[in-house]
Amino acid sequence: MFGAGAPVAALAFPCVAELIRDGVNGTLFEDAAGLARALASLLADAGAASRLATLRDGVAVAERWDAMWDRCVKPTVAPAFAA
Q: To the nearest whole number, what is the mean pLDDT of the chain?
A: 86
Domain that holds residue 36: 2-81
Residue 83: pLDDT band with limits 50, 70, 90? low
Other Cβ atoms less than 10 A from the Cβ of 63: the count is: 13
Share of the chain above pLDDT 70, in %: 98
Domain count, the chain: 1
pLDDT digits (tens, 9 = 90+) for 8-42: 899 999 988 888 889 899 999 999 999 999 998 88
Q: How far apart are CA 83 and CA 77, in angstroms?
A: 13
Residue 45: pLDDT band with limits 50, 70, 90? confident
